[in-house]
Structure 1
Amino acid sequence: MSEVDAKFVHRGLWTNLEKGPILGKTITTNLSTGTLVIALLAILSSLATAHVWHLAAFAYHQIRANGAPADGLFRQQQALLRTLPTPSSYLTDSLKLWWYWKGRADSVSLRCTLQPLIALFFTIATLAASISSSFVVDTTNLEVLVDSPFCAPVSPPRGSPFSTVLTYMTAVTDVAQPYVNECYDNNGTSFPALCSAFTRPDIPLVNEAVACPFNASMCVGGGSTPAAQIDSGLVDFNSGFGLNLPKDQRIKLRRKTACGILPLDGHTKVYSAEDDVFKIRPPLPGEQMIEFNYGNETDGSQFIFSLSESNVTRTYGIDGNYNFNPIPSEMGRDDAFLALLLVQKNAITYKVPVNDPMFAAHVPFTRNNSAGTGEMITEYYSDFPYSVVGCAQQFQFCHARKSSSEFCTDLMSLPESINATFPEASALQRVLFKNIVMAFSMLEISRTHALKAAQLVQPGGLVPSLPDDQWRAEILYWESFVWAALQHQIADYAIGPAVRDTTGGASKYVGNVTTEAQKQLCKVQKMRKAGGFMNINVFGLVLITVVALLAAVIDITLLRFLIFLSRFRKALAPRIDRWIQDGVLQLQRRAYEATGQGTWTNLDADVPVTVEKSVFEELPKEFEPKRTKTGYSFESQDTVMIREVMDGKAWGVGDSNERLMELWRSRTFVNDVPDLRSKR
């Protein structure tokens, strides 16, 4: 089956219950919208890591800002932290500090180790956050929800002939058979593209040898385990078939099929084609017919074939029958759904004898090599052109209940009444059970039309060889077909049987969706889509957005909050002030003051400004304090008048001395101004 058509994909918000009600919130959207979301997530993740880095740098600066005397390396590290560089820039700048300060300060290597490690960690974290944000958006092999206007059950009118649904069954068989070949027999290797339509490519099956499912005399081969049993175990329809049902609506299914090769003696009859009452053409001269009967005499024969046709047919064939009443003493079972399969081996030949009980071939025939070399070769014909297999199919159904534990039936045949068999099932569960029973009644094991051995047939009807247990592989192959057909039929309810059946005959068997349960079942089918859409995980999207915005808000408002808080908690004030004073603009202000340029205000803010408009010269690379008659000049905030006194006026002369003392008494940071009076 090819993947679901884009027009049947639900767009918008839905919940993938397999991942939970919170983590499963999903938005399915087109590629253009999804690309924008990916870009937005990359920006948000980068924004989040950047602001978290700012907070980490601020915290690290504040831990170190204890006000104790320190060397130049410490002061430069603090100034570097205050600039809030990116983690990668901080990493390289920290290495530069280590390089230039080694041998000039104590324990440089030790003191320059932690900073690069922190920066490296945040650099990696930034890259990881950007990459991981892309996992919020799935772009390939998506699980999508089916939303089709053609959703409907296969529900032929009661009493309608089998031909009513024949076109649909043929359409399902045409896709299920190649699906089995590709997806049910890959020996655990990677699945091809054909298998990517369903949420689970195949249903695991267990093949084991068991006792005869009928009377022991009805299984060829002898021994205690002459039959093959294929058991699926309980398959949850959420995980196995992609249904998106809540826990209290879930159902499970188990199918166990036991098959044995039936004896031919006493169950076949050969007669002239002239006596055949079911003639479909004029008989050939001397043509004989063979019939097989494993039921009551009133049922008539289950199979009738022409031996003449069989003798000239160089291909395998298979036919099935489930509409018969078995002889109770031979195959009677009340707890199983019985089916017969007839394998037509016809005139197939083998290069070597075959001991497999289904394909037994020991009749030699020697002929000339077709290459014309005159060489004689020996091939082997089947011991008998037909083999018959009988199968007992059992089912076990389970469904969740709101008020109590899970309910499970015993192994049984297909139920005749859904309501009587599942009295506590919800309306949705009953609709689903009805669909399952309908699917199995249409395509059970007798409906298979292929043999695995047919894949080995060479031109001219020659098979190189077959293993002794080929018959067991065939039974597994048939049972795999049944499950593959069920996978397609379950999905067809949501997509619409009319979409698969393109013959125009769907109106004969497609029912109406009228009840709420039927409508609900239309909206719970998940399938896979290789491309064309994107799934956005709502939880991941919200988480990244909230974390990014929260980190940004905290980073932007934290300093202002701490400044406000420092008015009431004086212990915070010195550390916060050191953060401000280590800022680039405050350091620049100090440098200009040191060269006697500008009268500054706004000392306690991030941005200091001059009192009046000023023009500044470039700062010199080196600066030495000027020696004057009265002492050294130290330029700082509001020190213009000090410089006037030092340049031309003696201490204690007129108003200059009074102005200087007034300025001295008005200083906020007294320790920043040297005691000029000691230089007199």
Structure 2
Amino acid sequence: MVDSFSPTPEEFLGYSVKLGVWTNWSRGPVFGATLTLDRQRGSLLISFTAFFVTIVAVRFWRLACSILHRKLSVAERRDALYYQRQAIFRNSASAESALWSLIRVTWAWRHLSQTRSLYRTLPSIVFAAFTLAAFSFASGFSSSISTEIGDEVLLDGTHCGYLDQFTLNPEENFQFGTSWEANLIANAANYAEQAYSPNNIGIFSSAIFVRRQLDTVSLNFEAPCPFQEHLCRSNSSNLLLDSGYVDTGYQLGVNLRPDQSILFRQVVQCAPLVTDGHKTPTDYYGLSNYTSYNYGRVISLLSPEDDPNHTLTIKNIEFQYVPPGSRVAPSGYLLNVLKSFTYHGVTLYGDFIPEPGLRRSGADVYLFFLSGNGVGSSIPLHDPWYRFNTKSNAALGQFNTNESRPAYRPSEEASPLGYAAHLFGLDTADFTGSRYSSLGEIMTAYAANEDASRFLWFLQAISNNPTDLSLIVKKLGSQSLASHKSLDRNIQGPLPDDQWKLDVTYWWNISLSALQATFINTACGSNNPDVLRLQTNATNPGQRSICENQKILSTQYISLSVFGLYFTYITGLLITILSLIIDPILDYAQRRWKYREYENLEWISNETLQLQRLAYDESGQGEWSKCTDYVPVTAPDEKLGLLNLADPEHPRLRQPKSPRPSKEIPRVPWLTVVLGRDNGGIDEEPGEGYDDADFSATSTCHSNSPA
């Protein structure tokens, strides 16, 4: 659901991305609120947030010190360690400076204190260290408001749509549809080759899927025969693949509310089929060098001569290989694919109607025929689909190499593989009826129903993107086989005995890759005006809800958690405001109602400038005012004394001399030294002498504040 976005989306790898605030429903309505910005503005916001956190850390420490200082304040005589700790809490600018000062105080009193200095200062040290660590972590990881969301952005579905293959005329389909499909399948195969490989080999410069790959929850290499047992070459070593329920939101990036999300599941079972009783020699166009396979009646015939009772007719094995002396190079593996799409047990469309033994309730049936077509091997291959176990009369050198050694070729003109595909979750809503002849008519009829139109758009997007296995194998041909990697100039390298399972798994992975790209391709549509006019575009709220809510991954933009931003700035502002107002509030309460008078006055008096004022005041220097304010002041132009450095290890403030008698008493130098009158080498001006004898100074502090 998009709450707001920039009216001018930026381009990302050809895709338009919406900037602004939107809701990422995979994280919920609260934590999923997301702000997407371009990288420059996003980086500035993250940097400013980190700086703001450091400011909040300072204000939090001042607030904590204000509370701790008052809590620890007692109106009775205590030792110097107590007053030093209080002074640190009052004057430390940050948790870091307080931590260092507390450690130094603890170290200084380690041998002198008889009251366990470490025990008394340890809680304060721990609190300062914890505060420093917590805010250092918060500042360093303030970028988590972005990394927690990840690189997910929302596509702009302005050009959302798909090419409906059934509405294109042959020329349009050849010009646009075929090349479009071929490009998508090639990209899907490349992605599957890397992202779905067992070792996940490969680095992608533009991986945009919200999930790197779709999971296969079940991969069973010892599955039973998916058809009637007499049709399978084995009843216990077949293949079953199960995708589990695929969530359009979590796994495909369609950003719908949880109650609008669509779940579906694909389960496929396949097995090599027997050929005994299913193949016959055939005359084709008057030639007898053909073999026909019969696993069901074909629906569409290429020519009147085609026999509807034969599923596939192909050249005999001898004619698939280069005769000695021929200049025609072998063309490599040949794959023929036939499909039968069913609904409630009835074949709706496809290439053939399966024989009863191949029919599966609720499953589409595919037949893949593998022909050697010139490929040879130097060793027998016992895979039940390849079956290179017939020794060839021709030497291996005649298979397009310079070597001359025995060669093996397939024992079948076309080895059949049966494939049953179940699609769960899509047939639960029965939209079919005698009055509707196509899915397009159903979409028109249910356009007013948002949920139904959303579901039907989902079906159309899958149907009109190359996710179907038969289309993938047809487009890629022999390159769709995993065995193609070990094929060199029509010489097949060694293969495991279950190579066919690896081939089918590879097809499966390509189809999953194509499925991942389906809704991204649909949401983006095409910018080509010629293609755009042929697109079927979203026209109602249900369809637009999918078009306008497709997520991808992008490193060109930064998505930030709106909740994280609100939490950071609101909490930080509250801490800052509270730290600024707590002292004036408590000061007012103390003045007005004498609330915690001693604690508040000790807090004021322990401030750096007030401590300085206390030192001079108690030594009888200065006429001070504003003694409970932040900055105390003296009378204008009043001068204060210097340090007494008679003992450099114990500096003190100079105290003023006692009032002199009316008669001048001569100064005796040696008496001056004995009595400690040495001034550390600093000459005293007339009228500014100081007396080092202890005395009780009396001073008056004038305050401008009300009592």
**Partner of 1:260: helix, strand, or coil?**
strand
Cα distance between partner residues in 2 of 1:512 and 1:368: 56
Q: Does 1:561 find its partner at 2:561? A: no
Cα distance between partner residues in 2 of 1:291 and 1:179: 37
Compute the displacement of 1:451 (Å): 3.6
Counterpart position of 1:660 = none
CA contact (8 A) 2:523 2:547 kept: yes
CA gap of 1:383–1:226, structure 2 versus 1, over 3 A, is same
CA gap of 1:421–1:565, structure 2 versus 1, over 3 A, is same
Counterpart position of 1:318 = 335
Cα distance between partner residues in 2 of 1:100 and 1:306: 100
Alignment of 1:185-334 (within 5 A): 185-187=197-199, 189=200, 192-193=203-204, 196-205=207-216, 206-208=218-220, 209-221=222-234, 223=235, 225=236, 227-271=238-282, 275=286, 288-296=289-297, 300=308, 301-307=310-316, 310-312=320-322, 313=330, 315-322=332-339, 323-334=350-361
Counterpart position of 1:70 = 78
Cα distance between partner residues in 2 of 1:228 and 1:315: 26
Cα distance between partner residues in 2 of 1:247 and 1:326: 39
Counterpart position of 1:638 = 700
Cα distance between partner residues in 2 of 1:171 and 1:567: 81
Counterpart of 2:633 (choices 609, 612, 616) is 609
CA gap of 1:559–1:31, structure 2 versus 1, over 3 A, is same
Cα distance between partner residues in 1 of 2:606 and 2:384: 92
> Please, which moves more after superposition, 192-201 or 9-18?
192-201
Q: Does 1:175 find its partner at 2:158? A: no
CA contact (8 A) 2:90 2:603 kept: yes
Cα distance between partner residues in 1 of 2:471 and 2:256: 31
State the TM-score, normalizing by the size of structure 1. Answer: 0.80
Compute the displacement of 1:192 (Å): 3.2
CA contact (8 A) 1:61 1:81 kept: yes
Paired AA for residue 580 in structure 2 = I
CA gap of 1:202–1:441, structure 2 versus 1, over 3 A, is closer
Counterpart position of 2:126 = 117
Cα distance between partner residues in 1 of 2:567 and 2:491: 64
Cα distance between partner residues in 2 of 1:429 and 1:80: 66
Counterpart position of 1:587 = 611
Counterpart position of 2:374 = 347
CA gap of 1:361–1:59, structure 2 versus 1, over 3 A, is same
Compute the displacement of 1:61 (Å): 1.4
Alignment of 1:422-571 (within 5 A): 426-436=451-461, 438-439=463-464, 443-445=468-470, 447-448=472-473, 449=476, 450-496=479-525, 498=526, 506-507=531-532, 509-529=534-554, 531-567=555-591, 569-571=593-595
Cα distance between partner residues in 2 of 1:26 and 1:43: 21
**Partner of 1:635: helix, strand, or coil?**
coil
Paired AA for residue 340 in structure 1 = L
Counterpart position of 1:574 = 598
CA gap of 1:274–1:244, structure 2 versus 1, over 3 A, is same
CA gap of 1:357–1:632, structure 2 versus 1, over 3 A, is closer
- For the aligned residues, what is the CA RMSD? 3.6
CA gap of 1:186–1:196, structure 2 versus 1, over 3 A, is farther
**Partner of 2:75: helix, strand, or coil?**
coil
Cα distance between partner residues in 2 of 1:442 and 1:553: 58
CA contact (8 A) 1:207 1:476 kept: no
CA gap of 1:7–1:190, structure 2 versus 1, over 3 A, is same
**Partner of 1:88: helix, strand, or coil?**
helix
State the TM-score, normalizing by the size of structure 2. Answer: 0.77
CA gap of 1:228–1:527, structure 2 versus 1, over 3 A, is same
**Partner of 2:337: helix, strand, or coil?**
strand
CA contact (8 A) 1:79 1:582 kept: yes
Cα distance between partner residues in 1 of 2:355 and 2:362: 13
1:58-113 CA-to-partner distances (Å, cap 9, x unmatched) read 22211221121112222222112211332222222222223333333322333333
Structure richer in helix, relative to its length? 1
**Partner of 1:232: helix, strand, or coil?**
strand
Paired AA for residue 117 in structure 1 = V
CA gap of 1:440–1:513, structure 2 versus 1, over 3 A, is closer
Q: Does 1:133 find its partner at 2:162? A: no
CA gap of 1:12–1:628, structure 2 versus 1, over 3 A, is closer
Cα distance between partner residues in 2 of 1:536 and 1:196: 20
Cα distance between partner residues in 2 of 1:475 and 1:186: 15
Counterpart position of 1:358 = 385
Q: Does 1:382 find its partner at 2:382? A: no
Paired AA for residue 29 in structure 1 = L
Query: Is there any run of 5+ residues in structure 2 with no aligned partner, and where?
Result: 1-10, 301-307, 323-329, 340-349, 432-436, 645-650, 661-692
CA gap of 1:572–1:33, structure 2 versus 1, over 3 A, is same
Counterpart position of 1:396 = 424
CA contact (8 A) 2:397 2:405 kept: yes
**Partner of 1:577: helix, strand, or coil?**
helix
> Please, which moves more after superposition, 582-591 or 94-103?
94-103
Cα distance between partner residues in 1 of 2:423 and 2:32: 32
Alignment of 1:24-173 (within 5 A): 24-106=32-114, 107-138=116-147, 142-156=151-165, 158=167, 165-173=177-185
Compute the displacement of 1:119 (Å): 2.2
Cα distance between partner residues in 1 of 2:430 and 2:127: 62
1:240-270 CA-to-partner distances (Å, cap 9, x unmatched) read 2111010221111112222222233344444
Counterpart position of 1:338 = 365
1:438-490 CA-to-partner distances (Å, cap 9, x unmatched) read 24787344542344333333433223321122222222222222222222222
CA gap of 1:617–1:59, structure 2 versus 1, over 3 A, is same
Cα distance between partner residues in 1 of 2:541 and 2:403: 74
CA contact (8 A) 1:396 1:408 kept: no
Cα distance between partner residues in 2 of 1:143 and 1:469: 40
Cα distance between partner residues in 2 of 1:439 and 1:68: 86
- Identity in percent: 23
**Partner of 1:137: helix, strand, or coil?**
helix
Paired AA for residue 379 in structure 2 = V
Compute the displacement of 1:409 (Å): 8.2
Counterpart position of 2:22 = 14
CA gap of 1:191–1:115, structure 2 versus 1, over 3 A, is farther
Paired AA for residue 311 in structure 1 = Y
Compute the displacement of 1:314 (Å): 5.7
Paired AA for residue 566 in structure 1 = Q
CA contact (8 A) 1:397 1:409 kept: no
Query: Is there any run of 5+ residues in structure 1 with no aligned partner, and where?
Result: 277-286, 400-406, 641-667, 670-680
- Higher RCO structure (Cα 8 Å, ≥6 apart): 1
